[in-house]
Structures are given as structure tokens and as C-alpha cells.
Amino acid sequence: YVRGQRQDHKPPIIARGDIKAREAFDQQLQVVSSPQPHFLHADIVNWPEDEGLRENVALELAQKAVLCIRPPAD
């Protein structure tokens, strides 16, 4: 969906990671609706200031995320 709306010259989007908002809440983060470019998109905000803690939280979320790979074009 997003691929068709990109106006930049970056490499094509080949995958996305989906995660439940609950997983972010469990890490004391907040989730803010950001319906552009997709109505289900949201941003995770209020990350820890400390870089090491931020990395640990990101790793925890990555373990909970579901990888969705775009099928190859025919």
C-alpha cells in the first residue's frame, strides 16, 4: 500500500513489521494514530532517553513483531 504512495527515490519497501499496541504499552510507551499513509498506521512514542534502554525496549518489541514480507512482483 505504502509503496505506491512513495515519492522519493529510496529502495522499494519489501517488508513491514506488525505489532499490537498492547506490546508498546507493556514497555511503558505510547501509541499515536498516524493514518497517513495508511489508516491503520501508528507511531510509537515516548521512548526512553537512555540509548541502551531504548535499544533494549526496541529489541523486546522486535521479538513480539510479526514480519510481513511483500510477495515478489509477477
Per-residue pLDDT of the chain (74 residues; tens, 9 = 90+): 455 555 677 777 788 899 999 999 999 999 999 988 788 889 999 999 999 999 999 999 999 999 999 888 76
Q: Check residue 2 and give its pLDDT.
A: 53
This model's pTM is above 0.85: no
Angle at 61 between CA 30 and CA 16, to 5 degrees: 95
Q: Which grid cell is 46?
A: 515516548
Report d(CA 22, CA 29) in Å as an integer: 9
Q: Check residue 3 and give its pLDDT.
A: 52
Residue matched to cell numbers 510477495 = 71
